[in-house]
Homo-oligomer: A and B are copies of this chain.
Amino acid sequence: MDHRSRLREYRRWLAVAAEQAALGAREGGVPVGAALVDSRGEILGRGRNRRVQDGDPTAHAETSAFRAAGRLRDYGDTTMVTTLSPCWFCSGLVRQFGIGRVVIGEARNFCGGHDWLAENGVEVVLLDDAECMRMMGEFIAASPGLWNEDIGA
């Protein structure tokens, strides 16, 4: 697959994550979404931040998507696609389980551990997506207390 086709595919995966984020926003939650995708593009699990919805501080978007995929034996050929740069917790998840690639909607509203992942052999693709940026920017402006709680700031 050439570079352009790959980027189109990443954007399709990002749309799945962004749909989760938008759903989270409608629920009054933190609007970050994610999906775990296999090498053929099949969605293994999808999820969104559920801190507010479930009162669960471990339910970040990436951990929710990873949990939804259930028990797997090898993550090397999987991609974690997320609307926002993964925090240290979610970056640690990617590194520990050897997820091969992370596709990130944006890293302007929050920059987590994705450089650390790249340094440690994970393929990191940053899409700098305008819609992800807008959604997160509006949320942080409207709910700074909830956002700071969610990242332990």
Contact = CB atoms under 8 A, between A and B. Distances in A.
Interface of A: 51, 55-58, 63, 66-67, 69-73, 75, 87-93, 95-98, 113, 149, 151-152
Contact of A87 (B66, B96, B149): B96
A67 B72 contact: no
Given A72-B57, A152-B97, A92 B113 contact: yes
A70 B92 contact: no
Nearest to A60: B96
Nearest to A99: B152
A97 B152 CA distance: 4
Contact of A95 (B88, B95, B149): B88
